[in-house]
Structures are given as C-alpha cells and as structure tokens.
Homo-oligomer: A and B are copies of this chain.
Amino acid sequence: MQALEQKILNEGIVLSDHVLKVDSFLNHQIDPVLMQQIGQEFAQRFKDCGITKIITIEASGIAPAVMAGLILGVPVIFARKNTSLTLKNDLYQAKVYSFTKQIESTITISNKYLKENDKVLVIDDFLANGQAALGLANLVGQANAEVVGIGIVIEKSFQTGRQLLLDQGYRVESLARLESLNDGKVTFVAAE
C-alpha cells in the first residue's frame, strides 16, 4: 500500500535491526486520514469473505480496525491486555508471549460478542513473531467462530510470524512488508 510505505519512509524511525518506531502516525500519534485509507484497503482485500466481526488488540490496533469496521459495516472487538472493572465473567483468554518485550501477557475478550457462526477478521498493527495474531485467533477458536483472514498494517517480513500463520492455514494480508531494517534503512518486500 503505497501511501503507507511512503509514510513509513518519511516518518518511521529505525531504532535497531528489528524495531521500527512509527509513533508519529500509528502507535502514539494517529493519522486519521491514513487510518481511513488503511481501513479501505483492508475492506477491499476482504470484501468477499462475508466478515461479520473484526477482532483486534488494544491499543494500536483499534484505529485501523474501527476504520475497517466502518467500511465493512461490522462491529469491532478489542481484546484487553488487562481485565477491566466491567470485564470479569464469561471470558475467553489466551496467553501471548512478546519476544520484543520478553514478557507473557494474557489477552481477554468477553464471550458475549463472538458466536460460532461469526466470520472474523483479525487486525493488528504489527506482525513480527505472530504471537499476538495467534492469540487473537485462539480467542476466535474458543468461540468456535471462524478466522477468515488476518490483516496486518506493518509486517516485519524478516521475522517468522507470517510463515507461522500461513503454516496454520490462515490468509495473511499485510499492507506494508518490511524486508529489512538493517543499517538504519527501511526496505520493503518487492511487490509480487
């Protein structure tokens, strides 16, 4: 997705060979117009899948997921990393290990909002080792609902997540695919 790649080139900051900081438009400050374009792109790619729900994870997944939900006309559920005051009973939970932060966390959704006939699009901001996406897919599985695809804003294609998800049979659509962050420079996977 060209507008996203251009934004990454213009504003992304390479912190190391495996960390790209995009705090100016996605992870801290949010560019609503770009989020709308991202939502349109996800909606376009998955429009024929009969999607009934989108699931994402707080906090950075929410903006792209809500824009996609608006265009696809479906509700969005965001999994919580901490249970809230009003989210206590009848939960689906999955453990997610972050290689980047080296911590394991538990993500949670209420069982009220996913049903077994739901066709679910999983959306997340980054794909690296695939653990967050797998955790979200696990929650969908607990509801006996179907994951029809995984939509990623920025994929670190030099890490193992994409292949892991493909190996499990998931369709993965990433809007920007980073081939490398070596030497402080962003390069993208060449278009197919």
Which residues does A use to contact B, with CB under 8 Å?
15, 19, 21, 23-25, 27-33, 35-36, 58-59, 62-63, 66-67, 69-70, 73-78, 80, 84-87, 100-101, 109-110, 112-113
Contact = CB atoms under 8 A, between A and B. Distances in A.
A83 B74 CA distance: 31
Contacts of A87: 23, 28
Copies of this chain, tallied across the complex = 2
B15 A86 contact: yes
Contacts of A28: 77-78, 80, 84, 86-87, 109-110, 113
10 contacts: A21-B86, A23-B110, A28-B78, A28-B86, A28-B113, A30-B62, A30-B75, A32-B70, A36-B70, A63-B63
